[in-house]
Amino acid sequence: MEATVQAGAAQAAFELAQHLQADGGLAPIQVGGYALVDGEVAFADVTCWASRYYGTGVVRPRPAGFFEDHPAFGRRWVSNRGLDARRLREAEAAAEPQWRDHTTARVLFTSLGLRVMPCRETAWLPFDHALLTSVAPGSSEVVLSYTTCAPLRLGGESADWLGMALDHVRRMPQ
């Protein structure tokens, strides 16, 4: 079943590429739940999984150790340097740039850009075509790089089609 869906998605992307190379255009659609601005036209309304690629600041763990009741020195803190070092390495690794914020999202492809609404959110995230710097298609996913924000990765049945359409829009003269 999954192989059939992937083959169908790849076929749809191939057909779109052929259509666009023959000077065909994208067909407008009607969308609900999003107010298009004047002159904005919607071309696709799909569901994809989405994630963003970025790093974070290191959250330094509290020192590890225990209080010891020593007969000569009384109650004192005994640190655990080995555990502290391991926890710091883990915190640094967790802060490294990686794909984060994995979620399912509704994605609108419009004449002005992608509009992404993550699952359980109420606001649309705008990703304008004017800020798009690269489109990197993969197997059932596409990675989009922008000048002002972290890269966006979209995946699922519609990702190949979206990647083809976005690359076409990016290459069009402004």
> Over the stretch 48-79, which tens digit does the pLDDT of each residue have?
999 999 999 999 989 888 888 878 778 887 88
Quick one: 107 and 161 in the same domain? yes
- The pLDDT tens digits of the residues spanning 4-50 come to 444 555 666 667 666 666 676 777 889 888 889 998 989 889 999 99
87 and 106 both lie in a single domain:
no
Does residue 59 form part of some domain? Answer: no
Query: What is the tens place of the pLDDT at every residue in 93-148?
Result: 999 999 999 999 999 999 899 999 999 999 999 999 999 999 888 888 999 999 99
Which among 38, 73, 95 is the end of a domain? 95
What letter represents residue 73's amino acid? F
Amino acid at 158: S
Are 44 and 112 part of one and the same domain? yes
Same domain, 31 and 89: no
Q: Residue 7 is part of which domain span?
A: 2-54+100-171
For residue 30, being part of any structural domain is answered with: yes
Same domain, 122 and 156: yes
Any domain includes 60: no
The type of residue at 81 is R
Q: How does pLDDT run across 145-156, given as a tens digit for each residue?
A: 999 999 999 999
- Say yes or no: 119 and 159 in one domain: yes
Tell me: do 76 and 157 sit in the same domain.
no
Taking the chain, what is the end-to-end CA distance rounded to the nearest angstrom? 41
Q: Which of 95, 113, 145 is the last residue of a domain?
A: 95
Residues 79 and 107 in one domain: no
Contacts 24+ apart (CB under 8 A), 116-120: 116/50, 116/152, 118/50
